[in-house]
Amino acid sequence: MQKYIEGDLEAKHILIERNLRLVAHIVKKYQHSEEEHEDLLSIGTIGLIKAVVTFNPTRNNRLAAYAARCIENEILMFLRTRRKLSREVSLYEPIGTDCEGNEIQLFDIMETSEDDAQSQIALKDDIRTLYAKVESELSPRERLVLKMRYGLYNEEEYTQREVAKELGISRSYVSRIEKSAIEKLKAYF
């Protein structure tokens, strides 16, 4: 460990190699899951590498104990992400075959026109992006003005005059704030 702290990369590789059995031991806990053993070993090894890189010996902690937590956390994050993705359904995922042996997709049996389904999906994605960008890109005042003007977050819509009265500012100032906020958001659409 001391050589690695002093900057010896070979010592880092040795630390990782000597602790690979720890990864295998921890992966055994999760073998009952449907994930393949090799995938979990790879994910656990990533956790081990992160542990070796971030380990701080001045905290009076053993590398093995710290690495065990890092390995387990990495595996659990992987399993959670996988579980979330398994709930998602693709419209183009095969769901069977027809009498002629052609593959049938969920999209083929939906009772809406192709354009409608695609535009609805695109609209939902745009709305999700819009709300994320409203939160991350706009100032609190810009968020408030847009929220009041357009009824975002299921709120009531107000005119510029009503917003100005509510906030105690001029209608033209509300207009400038609104225009500035919309310009910022346009860049993402």
Distance CA(134)–CA(44), nearest Å, equals 37
Q: What is the pLDDT of residues 108-164, one digit of tens each?
A: 666 655 566 677 788 888 888 888 888 899 999 999 999 999 888 888 999 999 999
Q: Is residue 131 domain-resident?
A: yes
Domain harbouring 48, CATH code: 1.10.1740.10
Q: Is residue 94 domain-resident?
A: no
pLDDT of residue 35 exceeding 60 = no
Asked if 21 and 75 sit in the same domain, the reply is: yes
What is the per-residue DSSP string for 132-178?
HHHHHHS-HHHHHHHHHHHTGGGPPP--HHHHHHHHTS-HHHHHHHH
Signed CA dihedral, 53, 54, 58, 61: sign only: negative
Q: Is residue 108 domain-resident?
A: no
Q: Which amino acid is at 112?
A: T
Q: What is the pLDDT of residues 51-94, one digit of tens each?
A: 888 888 778 788 889 999 999 999 889 888 877 776 666 667 77
> pTM of this prediction?
0.44
The predicted structure's pLDDT at residue 117: 67
Asked if 178 and 119 sit in the same domain, the reply is: yes
Q: What is the DSSP letter of 6?
A: T
Distance CA(9)–CA(4), nearest Å, equals 6
Q: How many domains does the chain have?
A: 2
Q: Which residues of 70-87 are buried (b: 16+ CB within 10 A; e: fewer)?
A: bbbebbeebeeeeeeeee
For residue 161, the tally of other CB atoms under 10 A from its CB is 11
Asked if 130 and 182 sit in the same domain, the reply is: yes
Asked if 125 and 79 sit in the same domain, the reply is: no
The predicted structure's pLDDT at residue 145: 92
The predicted structure's pLDDT at residue 170: 94
The predicted structure's pLDDT at residue 8: 66
Q: Is residue 92 domain-resident?
A: no
Q: Residue 110 in contact with residue 91, Cβ under 8 Å?
A: yes
Domain harbouring 123, CATH code: 1.10.10.10
Distance CA(167)–CA(175), nearest Å, equals 13
Which has more confidence, 37 or 43?
43
> Which range has the top average pLDDT, 4-13, 47-56, 172-181?
172-181
Domain boundaries, position 165:
115-186
Q: What is the 3-state secondary structure (H, E, C) of 60-119?
A: CCCHHHHHHHHHHHHHHHHHHHHHHHHHCCCCCCEEEECCCCCEEEHHHHCCCCHHHHHH
